[in-house]
Amino acid sequence: MNEKVPDSHEAPRLHGVWADLQDAIARVDAEQLGREMMKLMARLFPICRSITGDGVRETLSILSGRIDLRVQEVPSGYQAFDWTVPREWNIRDAYIKNERGERVVDFRKSNLHVVNYSAPISGTMTLEELRPHLHTIPDLPGAIPYVISYYQERWGFCLSQNQLDPLPPGRYEVLIDSSLKDGHLTFADAVLPGTSPQEIMISTYVCHPSMANNELSGPVLTAFLCGLLSKVRHRYTYRFVFVPETIGSLVYLSKYGEHLRKNLHAGYVATCVGDAGPYTYKRSRRGDSAADKVAEHCLKHLGPGSTVKIVDFFPSGSDERQYCSPGFNLPVGSITRSMYGTFPEYHTSLDNLDFVSAEGMAGTLKQYLRVIQAHEINMKYLNLSPFGEPQLGKRGLYPTIGGKTSDTPTSVERLMYLLGYSDGTKDLVDIANLARKPAWEFAPEILALMDANLLGLAD
């Protein structure tokens, strides 16, 4: 009664995708990718990034060494919706010297010491005159704060409270050897075409100076994820986006927003992915998109003892603010460890390389792979023998002896769930949710049923 004829290429293709992604997940541990990610992060750490300038260029250039990046620039003055790309900022040196000529605040020791996008300044002044330009965190006296002023010209220094307190009154020599000139904003992406034009996007940002969890964990993980996926078969097209936060994602949307509106199946902003905190999923503004459904399912099945936080979309945060703005309303959530704003080290010099770890990075990389794997197999399947149960026994998929023998094998249970619910209205994650099992555990049974011509794809 059902005339659906399975495409003979479907099953072999899915076998390949599944096997490749299983391998990729296995490689994370086997090749110690966590340590390699830490090495790359250490190399990127000292660079003074901002939303424009050579710091971004150098960062993207280093990442280009690992993956095939397409780097692009737009000029100062470029209009992205309601925003204008500002002048390009670069900085060579900065300090506050005391009367003995000693650098009491020294850009060479930490690029956080300068308010990001500070206008150039050079001169001497009293501590009192200097004070309105100094930023500290009294509650974290050992930490240098990260302070920015992109769109209003000002200058300033950031230092720890412990540095500030002993400074005696007197005159100080102040230098910020920076420049604000017409130039460019730099960004990059990498696209891995799949068999489907539908896309999965991982977006991350490259505009913060020396901080590890927010932000370097993001671009490093994204680059490794891109590297792994470039070596496997996959159905979806994958897009990896590296932009300065806010203005960069707006520029990106000004160029690719319409394309994404048509093709984006799911997206995630990768940030704060390297610490030891619990996995957190921030939902897209839609709340019920494919991005949300698959990520929540995967995180909820992390395994016993794992805590997971699922938070509703809120309109502050990172670049999901732009992707999810009402005009675009893209299916973009964010998978993080300790989310921005929730840990005291956030936006300070304490968010350093010690705050992240190879284990933290590898763990999150595996989660991203798990989510991608779940997307790859999360289709609506169709029971091709839907009137009554098909007789699995004669196909070797069901025990030939029954009654009070032993418990139903869990594999049989999965077969029954797949056959019982694959009516073209439910996808694999729906069915896995009904069975209260992780979607990926169903892959062997999906492949077996497709091989037996009992399951096809619903279009």
Give 23 or 423: the residue with its C-beta nearer to a second copy: 423
Tokens 């299916």 correspond to 331
Distance CA 113, CA 10 (A): 57
Three-state secondary-structure class, residue 445 = helix
Give 73 or 389: the residue with its C-beta nearer to a second copy: 389
As measured in angstroms, the least distance from the Cβ of 144 to a second copy is 9
Q: State the alpha helices, DSSP H only, in 357-397.
A: 358-377
Give 147 or 302: the residue with its C-beta nearer to a second copy: 147
Q: Which phi and psi angles does 322 have, rounded to 5°?
A: -80, -45
Give 102 or 423: the residue with its C-beta nearer to a second copy: 423
Tokens 């966590």 correspond to 34
Residues with Cβ within 8 Å of residue 24, at least 6 apart in sequence: 228, 229, 231, 232, 369
Distance CA 28, CA 5 (A): 38
**Would you tell me which residues interact with a second copy (CB under 8 A)?**
1-2, 80-83, 115-116, 135, 137, 145-152, 154, 246, 249-250, 253, 257, 285, 312, 314-316, 321-322, 324-329, 346-348, 383, 385-391, 393-394, 400-405, 408, 412-413, 416-417, 419-423, 434
As measured in angstroms, the least distance from the Cβ of 129 to a second copy is 19
Bridge-based pairing state of the strands 70-75 and 171-181: unpaired
* 8 A C-beta contact, residue 107 and residue 178: no
* 8 A C-beta contact, residue 243 and residue 306: no
As measured in angstroms, the least distance from the Cβ of 358 to a second copy is 27
Q: Which phi and psi angles does 89 have, rounded to 5°?
A: -110, 130
Q: Which phi and psi angles does 76 have, rounded to 5°?
A: -55, 140
As measured in angstroms, the least distance from the Cβ of 383 to a second copy is 5
Give 237 or 422: the residue with its C-beta nearer to a second copy: 422
Instruction: Find the Cα–Cα–Cα–Cα dihedral 255, 261, 262, 263, rounded to 10°.
Output: 90
As measured in angstroms, the least distance from the Cβ of 325 to a second copy is 5
As measured in angstroms, the least distance from the Cβ of 67 to a second copy is 27
Give 171 or 300: the residue with its C-beta nearer to a second copy: 300
As measured in angstroms, the least distance from the Cβ of 56 to a second copy is 17
Distance CA 292, CA 184 (A): 35
Give 8 or 316: the residue with its C-beta nearer to a second copy: 316
As measured in angstroms, the least distance from the Cβ of 194 to a second copy is 27
Annotate 414-450 with DSSP letters as a single string.
Answer: HHHHHHHH-BSS--HHHHHHHHTS-GGGGHHHHHHHH
As measured in angstroms, the least distance from the Cβ of 380 to a second copy is 12
Q: Which two three-digit tokens encode residue 407?
A: 């418990």
Residue type, 74: V
Give 80 or 188: the residue with its C-beta nearer to a second copy: 80
Tokens 């989310």 correspond to 339
Residue type, 173: E
Give 208 or 337: the residue with its C-beta nearer to a second copy: 208
DSSP class of 145: B
As measured in angstroms, the least distance from the Cβ of 442 to a second copy is 13
Give 123 or 138: the residue with its C-beta nearer to a second copy: 138
* 8 A C-beta contact, residue 68 and residue 198: no
